[in-house]
Amino acid sequence: MRYILYILTAITFFVSLPTSAQKELDNMTTNEAPLLTIRGSVRESDSYKPISKVNIEVNGGSYTKTDDNGSFVIRARQGDLLIIRHKDFETVYHTIQDDERITVEVEPAISETKDGKIYSRKDIKLFNALIDSVGKYKKQDVEKSISFVGDALSQSNSQQQNAEAYLVLAEVYMHWKQFDLAVTNYRVSLQNRETNEAKLGLAKAYERNKNYQESLDTYEAIDKNQLNNYQLVTLYEGLGDTYFMIKNYDESIDAYQNGLKVANQHLIKPKVVDLNSKIAQAYNANGKVDKAETFFDNSLNLAEKETKQRGLEEKVTVADFQNTNRNYIEEIQLRKEIVEDVEEAERDSIITNESALTPQKQNYKIGNAYFLQKDYSNAIPYLEKSIEEAETKNDLIVKKDATRKLVDVFAESGDFEKAKEAFESYKFTVDQLYVKREQELSQADLFRRNIIEKNNRITSLESDRALNESLTSERNKNQQLIIYSLIAGLVLLLITAFFMFKYIKQQRLANNLLALKSLRSQMNPHFIFNALNSVNSFIASNDERTANKYLSDFSHLMRSVLENSEEDFIPLEKEIELLELYTKLEHFRFQDKFDYDISVHEDVPVSEYKIPPMLLQPYIENAVWHGLRYKTEKGHLQITISKKSDTEITITVADDGIGRARSKGLKTANQQKQKSKGMGNIKKRVAILNDMYKDKVDVIIDDCHDRGDVGTKVVVTLKKD
């Protein structure tokens, strides 16, 4: 059989190669280019029948062959020479330009016939064109990509083609971080045809979807003897990633080192860089800093020999390592080099705000490193530069973090006026970011629903197709149609109900978070107002020294309150510190009115509990301001933390003041009309948090009956996580 060769994409055809030219191609150095995944197929031009067992080789590198569907997948770099050999046609040479699909068509001298007739087949060419379109739009338009998969499935005439279609669909979902849908489609691909590519993809999708045990089981079930070198490295790297996520660092390091061994043996240089870096990170997480430094040195040296952007990315990783280990001088040097070189990298590729390479992030981290060294004069210009760049690029997250850090720098350096200005800017940025986050949540929800609709279309298409194929082989066609239609409808109904439930749950969570933010924003001004009244009282009495000491303690308390203001829960140790400081301030003003005692029982595991910030402060404030300060004799405030059970503790705030009834009677008519903001807000916060975290906090307020209905007792029950 004589073949005439056509290459549909940009293929360079060499009828013959001179020896000198061949040597030149053999000696091509493309180490600087990243590895590309090259997909292709070899087929007949008229019937589009696939040609199997065609030898596909990268000059001096990887080797594979076409499968029964005439398809192949191989790893190569831009500029590599692809050699296509088969006994029925002359050897074809093709220089790799990009990762576009390569299609080779050949025309047989004699058309395939049987019994004197030419048998028709589905348009395989159209199927492959649709699959190619998926790859083209994969990173640009997810909805178009999914639509092309649906169209490709409608043209499919074999389980092998079904497997390929679902495989590329799973890859689309992986790119767009829809890992649950990726898992589903990898599994469907494997149900149609088992391939190592799909198995590796499924294992990775499980890991990204946090199904760690399923990921490990999938990796372990793969036959390593059937993998090519690159796939074997990918398997070990994936195993290492999964073990790292579950903090099994010893197993993670072993897997990474096995992958590194294979990568070194077969000169898979990009993976050598990645694995050195990951081994270093695993050693660092495992507390073996010296070993981590050695591997980070390797990864940094190797990355600088790759692309410019890869070298910068590795510098960021190493700089983060230096920060973790408080090597701030080395961290600052690396980050300054990144800032100098990132502009050159931006000429070759787009660096988005999500990238760790952005100048605003690096300048912020340089300023933070100087701050940690207490070098405030150097920290300020870098933080201000970060804020300026973040504002230019509309990076509200970095702007918020840099502005917050600038507040700390000014406060630590004693420039409280600038600290106040920076804090006002920080509050404004936080509000901007909150609005943006709300919009992003809404857009993400719409994006998710659109994807689900597209996926349901494909599910419906496949169900209908499977139904039609089964009807041809069954006697009772009408009965089968009804059964499969009901099943498909039920599945679609269940899927729709499931995602509607998730959507409602997400909306409810978003509403709760908004309510908590609103309540926290009301709590802090209420507390600040009362505290400033105390300061004003000292100043009015010309007690300047006392006012200054009070202000010093008050600023310390305010800083702690602001740091915890965006958290739903904080460690109980921090809340106790805040209570001690707050009670000290109140006692400072009303020394002649009460004494206090804070008691933590020895059997209370304080470090194991968390509590909503500023939960107890309003109760202590009420005890002092509405109970104790009206007593004629000196009163007592008792705060006790005791163990109730193995999973619960109680926090009791008891005072021997005048009691709630008498306190209410002392209020003016105008005061009685006003509702307590602090107490009302705390009730709402507790209700919302209990709804979100399954009744973690319980509050009971009662009068002390053991002393003639004098005083008030608040008992807060806190459950362990």
696-710, pLDDT tens digit by residue? 788 888 776 555 447
Taking the mean position of all CA atoms in its chain, how far away is CA 503? 19
Q: Taking a C-beta distance cutoff of 8 angstroms, is the pair 370, 384 a contact?
A: no
163: closest CA among 184, 143, 191, 135? 191
- Domain membership of residue 462 (yes or no) is no
- Domain membership of residue 420 (yes or no) is no
pLDDT at 24: 37
Of 246 and 515, the one with more pLDDT:
246
The mean pLDDT value for 77-92 works out to 78
For 97, other C-beta atoms within 10 Å of its C-beta total 14
pLDDT at 526: 56
Domain carrying residue 600: 508-719
344-366, pLDDT tens digit by residue? 766 666 777 777 778 888 888 88
Q: Which residues pair with 36 in a beta bridge?
A: 76
What b-and-e string marks burial along 47-69, b requiring 16 or more CB atoms within 10 Å of the CB? bbbbbeebebbbbebbebebbeb
Of 381 and 709, the one with more pLDDT:
381
- Domain membership of residue 249 (yes or no) is no
- Domain membership of residue 403 (yes or no) is no
Residue 152 to residue 649: CA distance in whole angstroms: 61
Round the average pLDDT of the chain to a whole number and report it: 77
The pTM for the full model equals 0.48
Q: Is the pLDDT of residue 282 over 80?
A: yes
Q: Taking a C-beta distance cutoff of 8 angstroms, is the pair 598, 632 a contact?
A: no
**Half-sphere CA count of 51, side-chain side, radius 13 A:** 27
625: closest CA among 582, 591, 657? 657
Q: Is the pLDDT of residue 28 over 60?
A: no
The secondary element (H helix, E strand) that includes residue 107 is: strand 102-107
Q: Is the pLDDT of residue 144 over 70?
A: yes
Helices (H), 541-673: 544-563, 572-589, 617-622, 659-666, 669-673
- Domain membership of residue 610 (yes or no) is yes
- Domain membership of residue 532 (yes or no) is yes
The mean pLDDT value for 38-54 works out to 79
pLDDT at 319: 83
Structure token pair of residue 506: 């997400």
Q: Is the pLDDT of residue 251 over 90?
A: yes
361: closest CA among 376, 342, 333, 375? 342
pLDDT at 530: 66
509-536, pLDDT tens digit by residue? 555 555 555 545 544 565 567 667 766 7
pLDDT at 11: 33
The mean pLDDT value for 256-273 works out to 89
Pick the most confident of 58-67, 170-179, 439-448.
170-179
User: At which of 87, 121, 155 does a domain end?
Assistant: 121
Q: Tokens 């089968």 appear where? A: 480
Of 497 and 532, the one with more pLDDT:
497
The mean pLDDT value for 574-597 works out to 85
Q: Taking a C-beta distance cutoff of 8 angstroms, is the pair 366, 324 a contact?
A: no
User: At which of 121, 145, 160 does a domain end?
Assistant: 121
Q: Is the pLDDT of residue 217 over 90?
A: yes
pLDDT at 58: 86
Percentage of the chain lying above the pLDDT 90 cut: 12
Q: Is the pLDDT of residue 114 over 70?
A: no
Residue 613 to residue 689: CA distance in whole angstroms: 12
Q: To the nearest 10°, the Cα dihedral for 361, 365, 371, 376?
A: -50
Residue 36 maps to which CATH number? 2.60.40.1120
Residue 535 maps to which CATH number? 3.30.565.10
Sheet of 71-77: strand order equals 4-7, 102-107, 35-44, 71-77
Total structural domains in the chain? 2
The mean pLDDT value for 216-227 works out to 92
For 257, other C-beta atoms within 10 Å of its C-beta total 15
User: At which of 67, 98, 121 does a domain end?
Assistant: 121
**Half-sphere CA count of 230, side-chain side, radius 13 A:** 15
For 645, other C-beta atoms within 10 Å of its C-beta total 10
Structure token pair of residue 70: 């005439």
- Domain membership of residue 617 (yes or no) is yes
- Domain membership of residue 60 (yes or no) is yes
